[in-house]
Amino acid sequence: MPTFPADDGTEIFFTDEGSGPPLLCLAGLTRNGEDFAPILPHLKAVRIIRMDARGRGRSAHADWRSYNIAQEARDVLTLLAHLALPAVGVLGTSRGGLVALALAAAAKDRLLAVALNDIGPEIMPEGLAVISGYLGRRPTARTLEAAAASLSRDPAFPGVPMTRWMEVAAARFAEGPGGLALRYDPALRDAVLGSERTGEAGDAGPPGDGWSLFAALDGLPLALIRGVNSDILAPEVADEMARRRPDMIRAEVPDRGHVPFLDEPEALAALSAWQEEWA
């Protein structure tokens, strides 16, 4: 199992496949590299690296205080050193996109390009409220089939076939004799929402001023993919991003909330055009 030790010794899992310019895929808050499975057949002539953030997927759990964007950005730089890569393109979904923003501010020379999947410098409180309702909570569904059926009732994702929801459920949950378990450290809740035990505050958004971090992307090929039904990335925030970066490739994906699967025609067209700019 390919792993590398982070600067604090936490073992971080990654996959590395294909050849060509390197593209690092960073998943959302509670997700892992399996989130990018739907687009793997569509990404041609690139080396695809998927990293499970600390405490998620097949990466080791760590002190919940280390589940922050600054540390996760440092983990990316440690991975690049481990692979002897001077720079990569980054496709960041949600939290992964915030890590990309942090990297642009702290280590821009290590980035070739950035694509953001349903994330920007500001986060809608409505979406944070939804996340706070499930974050760190064991699912009530006891089977992957039941979890998929529950996911399929999300009104922000009409018409998605059950086969896709089964894939999503398998990526998010592990099935065992006692029912379903999370595929991430439940202590992530403390890191994001704050610890009720210690009284320490959490951090759900980008570190510092999000718009300053967005400005750090200047000069890098940039793409934005947004779900039309998103409760995380408001349309006016996406519009302002486009105003500040008129060269930004932008896609609005219908019948998708947070987050698009990335194999929708609109998302694939945007990623293809973005790839042509740097890969």
- pLDDT > 70 in the chain, percent: 96
Distance of CA 228 to the CA centre of its chain: 18
The domain containing residue 49 runs over which residues?
3-132+208-278
Contacts of residue 107, defined as CB under 8 A and 6 or more positions apart, other chains included, come to 73, 77
Nearest to 214 by CA among 83, 39, 97: 97
Say what the pLDDT of residue 177 is: 84
For residue 202, is pLDDT > 90? no
Dump pLDDT digits (tens) for 137-157.
Answer: 999 999 999 999 999 999 999
* Tokens at 80, concatenated: 């690049």
pLDDT band (50, 70, 90) for residue 193: confident
- Over range 252-275, report the average pLDDT: 98
Q: What is the CA radius of gyration of the chain?
A: 18
Asked whether residue 22 is assigned to any structural domain, the reply reads yes
- Over range 256-269, report the average pLDDT: 98
Asked whether residue 116 is assigned to any structural domain, the reply reads yes
Say what the pLDDT of residue 1 is: 77
- Cβ 22 vs Cβ 89: under 8 Å: yes
Phi/psi at 204 (nearest 5 deg)? Answer: -95, -15
Phi-psi region of 62 (alpha: psi -120 to 50; beta: other; left: phi over 0): beta
**Stated pTM of the model:** 0.96
Nearest to 5 by CA among 64, 50, 60, 69: 60
What CA–CA distance (Å, rounded) separates 133 from 127? 10
Asked whether residue 202 is assigned to any structural domain, the reply reads no
Asked whether residue 153 is assigned to any structural domain, the reply reads no
- Over range 106-124, report the average pLDDT: 97
Question: Around Cβ 80, how many Cβ atoms within 10 Å?
Answer: 19
Lowest-pLDDT range, 16-30, 46-60, 202-216, 223-237? 202-216
For residue 205, is pLDDT > 90? no
For the chain, the average pLDDT equals: 95
- Over range 46-58, report the average pLDDT: 98
* Tokens at 145, concatenated: 């089939």
Asked whether residue 233 is assigned to any structural domain, the reply reads yes
Distance of CA 224 to the CA centre of its chain: 13
Sheet of 249-253: strand order equals: 3-5, 11-17, 47-51, 22-26, 88-93, 111-117, 222-227, 249-253
Asked whether residue 106 is assigned to any structural domain, the reply reads yes
For residue 75, is pLDDT > 70? yes
Count of structural domains, the chain: 1
CATH number, domain of 118, equals 3.40.50.1820
Asked whether residue 138 is assigned to any structural domain, the reply reads no
- Over range 112-129, report the average pLDDT: 96
pLDDT band (50, 70, 90) for residue 208: confident
Lowest-pLDDT range, 66-75, 188-197, 229-238? 188-197
Say what the pLDDT of residue 196 is: 63
What's the length of the chain?
279
Asked whether residue 224 is assigned to any structural domain, the reply reads yes
